[in-house]
Amino acid sequence: MGFLDHMELPVLPTDKTGEGNVIVTSLDTLFNWSRLSSLWQMSFGLACCAIEMMSTAAAHYDMMRFGVIPRPSPRQSDVIIISGTVTLKMASRVKMLYEQMADPKYVISMGNCSNCGGPYWEYGYHVLRGVDRVIPVDVYIPGCPPRPEALLEGLMKLQEKVRAQGKDIEFTE
């Protein structure tokens, strides 16, 4: 059944083969499913992690197979990946970009710098110690920089989170 399995929706068997043509579901489930299957990402690079994000988007790792397509504008994107060190000068701009995105919107904090300040937390007088001080974060990815596999894992975690929205499903750690 392919994508219907992925949806985890009740499908009524209507013909002899057992394959269903009728789907019974709630509107929330359908919306969540559509949202998680096309998480458009804002192509927004901050520092070193942005290069790993580019690697993830290029042929070898191919982020697009998850429906993640880079969009150059915040108004067209669903998820913002904070890929790199957020400095104090940049923090207000990051907040403004987040505010310009249309709901529902998600944030992935990629790398130690945006998680907590990373290697710059102690002496970095111009570095924000964690992007979660300015915008709410959904998924944190550790690493300096995280490998492309780690970024893909983070995206899949976000998909799980979107699937569980508005339901009593346990979000697996």
Partner 1 sequence: MPEILERNIHSHSLLHASAPVHLPDRVEPKRLHTEEMVLNIGPQHPSTHGVLRLEVVLDGEVVVDVIPHIGYLHRCFEKHAENLTYPQVLPYVDRMDYIAAMSGEHGYVTAVERLLYIEVPEKVEYIRVLFAELQRIASHLIAIGTFGMDSGAFTPFLYCFRDRETILEMFEKTCGARFLYNYMWVGGLSHDLHPDVLPMCRDFLKKSRATHQEINDLLTFNHIFVERTAGIGVLDREVAINGGASGPMLRSCGVKWDIRKDDPYSIYDRFEWEVAIGSSDRGEPGDSFNRHWVRMQEWEQSLNIIEQILEQFPRQDATDVQSAIPKRLKPPEGEIYSRTETPRGELGYYIVSNGDVKPWRVKVRSPAFSNLSLLPLLSRGYLVADLIVILGSIDIVLGEVDR
Q: Which of 31, 40, 120, 121 binds partner 1 (CB under 8 A)?
A: 120
CA distance 158 to 36: 8
Q: Is 48 a residue that touches partner 1 (CB under 8 A)?
A: yes
- Which residue, among 29, 31, 63, has the nearest Cα to 152 in the 3D structure? 63
Q: Is 65 a residue that touches partner 1 (CB under 8 A)?
A: no
Q: Is 55 a residue that touches partner 1 (CB under 8 A)?
A: yes
Q: How far is the CB of 165 from partner 1 (least distance, A)?
A: 27
Q: How far is the CB of 137 from partner 1 (least distance, A)?
A: 18
Q: Which of 2, 27, 72, 75 binds partner 1 (CB under 8 A)?
A: 72
Q: Which region, judged by CB under 8 A, interacts with partner 1, from 3-11, 15-23, 44-52, 158-166?
A: 44-52
Phi first, then psi: what are they for 41, rounded to 5°? -105, 145
Asked if 38 and 67 count as a contact pair (C-beta separation under 8 A), the reply is yes
Q: Is 97 a residue that touches partner 1 (CB under 8 A)?
A: yes
Q: Half-sphere exposure (CA, 13 Å, Cβ side) for 44?
A: 27
CA distance 32 to 37: 9
Q: Which residues of 4-17 are buried (b: 16+ CB within 10 A; e: fewer)?
A: eeebebebeeeeee
- Cβ proximity to partner 1: between 99 and 160 the closer is 99
Residues that bind partner 1 (CB under 8 A): 43-48, 50-52, 54-55, 58-60, 72, 74, 84-85, 87, 89-90, 93, 97, 119-120, 122-127, 144-145, 147
